[in-house]
């Protein structure tokens, strides 16, 4: 069924809104009371998270069990099972949300389904044990609105994730989807572009270049074939917002690409997506097919005379392809090696044609900026960084998940209020932002309002929004080494500083963590870091020393301890550890000796055992097997 005009789209919206009304209403309601068929609730919906995280924990099976149970109880006509995208609260997946009472069940097992259906859906009694338990108070919280995790969030880019069925374009349309496009097509494209500029939106993929300016530059280069590219090669290990958006709200990306195409006078769209994201690929394919079916992609869109279509291109496992010139080469079927800018892709990109590259999260903001107005968007955030930012909160934190907050929110709010603080009551040590290009921030940075400038000033960067929390058990030299290992593994090998320089830095860090470091090694690290930053060819290379530089700046004493005293205070660096058995605490149970892969532990049963340091490979097996806390590690 083709939609031929903006009016027809509006008519479809009016129709589609009905199906979503029960969810929209519950979104507005603040009641904690449980609903249930026997309590008189006429219709209910069960939202089972269909994101990658929850799917990995059998959410598909849960969906099937729900269908079976509803069928068995003969209530399938009154209760609908919906599979939306990620709710963001991945720590406690799989998530099941009940509509209209907003009940938020966590860590649901397929075996829990029967109980949810009989006691809650039918009986109107919430299943207490599956409710989220506040780590602070221990109290069960029955709905998402009252969870700290959600309270401080402001979902703009993620507005539809966890709410609509991403495989049904009508649900997207119901939430003002394609309205921005329809409106734009009636306006002068320059005016639309001016709105994007006025909103202050900046690229969410890394450096934060103003999106409107980027479009303006791309618009200037005239050519018959121009391209709009969506960079969905989310390579930062530990960031998954782009994946979530594509899985949960693929149409927002499609709509934004079309608006961009309209503004810069391009008619071809390409989405470059990681092959590691099969679900996102699937959802995008469905969304593109549906958009074509509805006439929202193709020729003469909404009767405006504007043509646009989108194709998907796949990455194949190369982080550097997140860099736009490398990405373009990869799309051309070549090795993903960056080339010098200028010329920028806006001038000569995909097969030499003018090309505009934006990342997924950036694009997801575009339609909502136009429907709500640039002033609305610009009113959120800080002076230079407008709107919200999605962060993938992970690591040693209670609430791992995907969160979206206004720019300017502090790290403290994110880590302690939304994230629920450090896991297992450990002490906060650092938070790494910006992935392999970013840096580690510490206690003293917790209260700075986060935006592009403040993060850069603190020696890190926004990057794509990975945010990894570390506690006292994390060795900062090892963390720097981890990131450098990543960069060395992902370097394209083209330019000298990145190819050899990073390798040498990694070798130095290897030496330091193995207790073979020398005093001058720290100096060498600094020299190399500076030169690599100054001379590397692409953004990946230029930022690759950041993890080292920031840990050197904030945790220099840890480096010095490793080098001078051969001590790793976090007990992470194996070569610097000595394992021994406390003869007083040892009960002589032999569990450690039996588990030791190196046969380094000897002793007689019921007498204290001893570790032979020569044979010990410092694997930590004895530590995990000892029930009496008799293993000492220094």
Partner 1 sequence: MENMINLTIDNRPVSVPRGTTVLDAAKSVGISIPALCHIDLKGTCVKNTPASCRICVVEVEGRRNLAPSCATMVTEGMVVKTNSARVVRARKTVAELILSDHPNDCLTCPKCNDCELQKLVTRFNIREMPFKGEQSERKKEVTAAITRNMDKCILCRRCESVCNNVQTVGVLGAVRRGFDTTIAPTFDRMFKDTDCTYCGQCVAVCPTGALTERDNTDRLLDDLCNPDKIVIAQPAPAVRVALGEEFGMEPGSIVTGKLATALRYLGFDHVFDTDFAADLTIMEEGAEILHRLKAFLGGDKSVKLPIMTSCCPAWVNFYEHNYPDLLDYPSSAKSPAQMFGAIAKTYWAQKMGIPREKLVVVSIMPCLAKKYECERPEFAVDGNPDVDYSLSTRELARLIKRSNIDFKSLPDSDFDAPLGESSGAGAIFGATGGVMEAALRTVYEVYTGKTLPRLEFTAVRGLEGIKEATIDLGGFPLKVCVAHTLGNARLLMDKLRAGELDYHVVEIMACPGGCIGGAGQPYHHGNIEILQARAKAIYREDEGKPVRKSHENPDIQKLYAEFLGEPLGERSERLLHTCYYDKSIK
Partner 2 sequence: MSEIKVSCEALRKVEEICQQFNNDPGELISILHACQNQLGYLPEAVQRVIARQLGIPASKVYGVVTFYSFFSMVPKGKYPVSVCLGTACYVRGSDKVLEEFKRVLGIEVGETTPDGKFSLDCLRCVGACGLAPVATIGEKVYGRLNPSDIKKIVAEFED
Using alpha carbons only, what angle is made at residue 213 by residues 208 and 218, rounded to the nearest 5 degrees?
Answer: 115
Q: Helix, strand or coil for residue 116?
A: helix
Binding map of partner 2 across residues 186-225, x = CB under 8 A, - = no contact: ----------------------------------------
Integer Cα distance of 511 and 33 in angstroms: 60
Can residue 317 be called a binding residue for partner 2 (CB under 8 A)?
yes
Binding segment toward partner 2, per CB under 8 A, in 31-39, 326-334, 580-588, 607-615: 326-334
Which one of partner 2, partner 1, none interacts with residue 618, CB within 5 to 8 A by kind? none
- Kindly identify the residues of this chain, within the stretch 60-119, that bind partner 2 according to CB under 8 A: 89-93
Residue ranges binding partner 1 (CB under 8 A): 318, 335, 337, 339-340, 342, 488-497, 499-501, 503-504, 507, 524, 527-528, 531, 533-537, 542
Which one of partner 1, partner 2, none interacts with residue 420, CB within 5 to 8 A by kind? none
Q: Nearest distance from residue 159's CB to partner 2, in Å?
A: 20
Which one of partner 2, partner 1, none interacts with residue 339, CB within 5 to 8 A by kind? partner 1
Which one of partner 1, partner 2, none interacts with residue 584, CB within 5 to 8 A by kind? none
Query: For 64-102, b where at least 16 C-beta lie within 10 A, e where not — what string?
Result: ebbeebbeebeeeeebbbbbbbbbbbbbbbbbbbbbbbb
Which one of partner 2, partner 1, none interacts with residue 219, CB within 5 to 8 A by kind? none
Integer Cα distance of 481 and 279 in angstroms: 32
Can residue 396 be called a binding residue for partner 2 (CB under 8 A)?
yes
- Kindly identify the residues of this chain, within the stretch 477-516, that bind partner 2 according to CB under 8 A: 479, 482-483, 486, 490, 492
Which one of partner 2, partner 1, none interacts with residue 332, CB within 5 to 8 A by kind? partner 2
Residue 311 vs 527, nearer CB to partner 2: 311
Beta-carbon contacts of residue 62 (< 8 Å; ≥ 6 apart) = 48, 94, 96, 108, 109, 110, 113
Residue 372 vs 533, nearer CB to partner 1: 533
Can residue 57 be called a binding residue for partner 2 (CB under 8 A)?
yes
Q: Helix, strand or coil for residue 460?
A: coil
Can residue 336 be called a binding residue for partner 2 (CB under 8 A)?
yes
Which one of partner 2, partner 1, none interacts with residue 226, CB within 5 to 8 A by kind? none
Residue 197 burial (10 A CB sphere; 0-12, 13-18, 19+): middle
Q: Helix, strand or coil for residue 161?
A: coil
Can residue 316 be called a binding residue for partner 2 (CB under 8 A)?
yes
Binding map of partner 2 across residues 109-148, x = CB under 8 A, - = no contact: ----------------------------------------
Integer Cα distance of 569 and 634 in angstroms: 9
Which one of partner 1, partner 2, none interacts with residue 324, CB within 5 to 8 A by kind? none
Q: Tell me which long-range contacts 102-108 makes (C-beta under 8 A, separation of at least 24).
A: 102/26, 102/27, 102/29, 102/143, 102/144, 102/145, 103/34, 103/131, 103/142, 103/143, 104/131, 104/132, 104/141, 104/142, 104/143, 104/144, 104/147, 105/130, 105/131, 106/130, 106/131, 106/132, 108/62
Per the listing, tokens 């969810």 go with 23
Can residue 425 be called a binding residue for partner 2 (CB under 8 A)?
no
Integer Cα distance of 499 and 565 in angstroms: 31
Integer Cα distance of 261 and 229 in angstroms: 10
Q: Nearest distance from residue 528's CB to partner 1, in Å?
A: 7
Query: For 358-390, b where at least 16 C-beta lie within 10 A, e where not — what string?
Result: bbbbbbbbbbbbbeeebeebeebbbeebbbbbb
How many residues interact with partner 2 (rule CB under 8 A)? 60
- Residue 540's CB is within 10 A of a number of other CB atoms, namely 25
Which one of partner 1, partner 2, none interacts with residue 68, CB within 5 to 8 A by kind? none
Residue 341 vs 587, nearer CB to partner 1: 341
Residue 71 token pair: 């069928």
Where does this chain bind partner 2 (CB under 8 A)? 52-53, 55-57, 89-93, 234-240, 243-244, 275-277, 313-319, 330-336, 351, 392, 394-396, 400-401, 432, 435, 466, 468-470, 474, 479, 482-483, 486, 490, 492, 597, 619-620, 624
């Amino acid at each position: 069924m083709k939609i031929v005009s903006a009016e027809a789209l509006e008519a479809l919206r009016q129709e589609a809104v009905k199906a979503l009304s029960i969810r929209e209403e519950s979104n507005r309601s603040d009641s904690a009371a449980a609903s249930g068929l026997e309590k008189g609730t006429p219709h209910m919906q069960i939202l089972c998270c269909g994101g990658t995280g929850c799917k990995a924990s059998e959410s598909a099976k849960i969906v099937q069990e729900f269908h079976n149970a509803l069928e068995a109880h003969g209530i399938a006509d009154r209760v609908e099972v919906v599979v939306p995208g990620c709710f963001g609260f991945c720590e406690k997946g799989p998530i099941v949300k009940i509509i209209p009472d907003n009940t938020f069940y966590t860590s649901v097992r397929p075996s829990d389904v029967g109980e949810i259906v009989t006691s809650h859906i039918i009986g109107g009694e919430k299943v207490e044990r599956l409710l989220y338990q506040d780590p602070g108070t221990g109290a069960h919280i029955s709905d998402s609105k009252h969870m700290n995790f959600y309270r401080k969030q402001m979902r703009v880019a993620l507005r539809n994730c966890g709410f609509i069925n991403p495989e049904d374009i009508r649900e997207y349309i119901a939430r003002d989807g394609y309205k921005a496009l329809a409106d734009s097509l009636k306006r002068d494209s320059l005016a639309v572009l001016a709105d994007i500029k006025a909103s202050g939106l900046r690229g969410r993929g890394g450096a934060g270049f103003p999106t409107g300016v980027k479009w303006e530059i791309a618009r200037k280069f005239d050519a018959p074939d121009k391209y709009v590219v969506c960079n969905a090669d989310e390579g930062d290990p530990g960031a998954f917002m782009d994946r979530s958006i594509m899985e949960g709200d693929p149409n927002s990306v499609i709509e934004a690409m079309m608006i961009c195409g309209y503004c810069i006078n391009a008619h071809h769209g390409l989405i470059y997506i990681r092959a590691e994201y099969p679900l996102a690929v699937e959802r995008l394919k469905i969304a593109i097919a549906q958009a074509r079916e509805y006439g929202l992609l193709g020729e003469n869109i909404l009767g405006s005379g504007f043509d646009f279509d989108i194709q998907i291109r796949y990455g194949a496992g190369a982080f550097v392809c997140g860099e736009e010139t490398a990405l373009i080469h990869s799309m051309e079927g070549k090795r993903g090696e960056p080339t010098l800018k200028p010329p920028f892709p806006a001038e000569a990109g995909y097969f030499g044609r003018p090309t505009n590259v934006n990342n997924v999260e950036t694009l997801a903001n575009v339609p909502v900026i136009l429907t709500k107005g640039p002033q609305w968007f610009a009113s959120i955030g800080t002076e230079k960084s407008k709107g919200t930012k999605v962060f993938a909160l992970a690591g040693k934190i209670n609430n791992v998940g995907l969160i979206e907050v206004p720019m300017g929110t502090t790290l403290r709010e994110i880590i302690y209020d939304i994230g629920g603080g450090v896991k297992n009551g450990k002490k906060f040590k650092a938070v790494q932002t910006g992935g392999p290009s970013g840096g580690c921030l510490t206690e003293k940075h917790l209260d700075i309002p986060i935006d592009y400038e403040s993060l850069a000033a603190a020696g890190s960067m926004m990057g794509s929004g990975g945010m990894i929390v570390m506690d006292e058990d994390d060795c900062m030299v090892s963390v720097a080494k981890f990131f450098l290992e990543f960069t060395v593994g992902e370097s394209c090998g083209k330019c000298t500083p990145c190819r050899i320089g990073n390798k040498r830095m990694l070798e130095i860090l290897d030496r330091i963590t193995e207790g073979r470091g020398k005093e001058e090694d720290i100096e060498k690290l600094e020299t190399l870091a500076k030169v690599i930053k100054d001379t590397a060819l692409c953004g990946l290379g230029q930022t690759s020393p950041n993890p080292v530089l920031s840990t050197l700046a904030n945790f220099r004493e840890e480096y010095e301890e490793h080098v001078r005293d051969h001590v790793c205070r976090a007990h992470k660096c194996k070569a610097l550890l000595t394992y021994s058995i406390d003869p007083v605490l040892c009960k002589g149970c032999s569990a450690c000796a039996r588990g030791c892969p190196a046969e380094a532990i000897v002793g007689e049963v019921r007498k204290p055992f001893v570790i032979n340091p020569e044979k010990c490979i410092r694997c930590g097996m004895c530590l995990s097997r000892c029930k009496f806390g008799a293993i000492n590690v220094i």
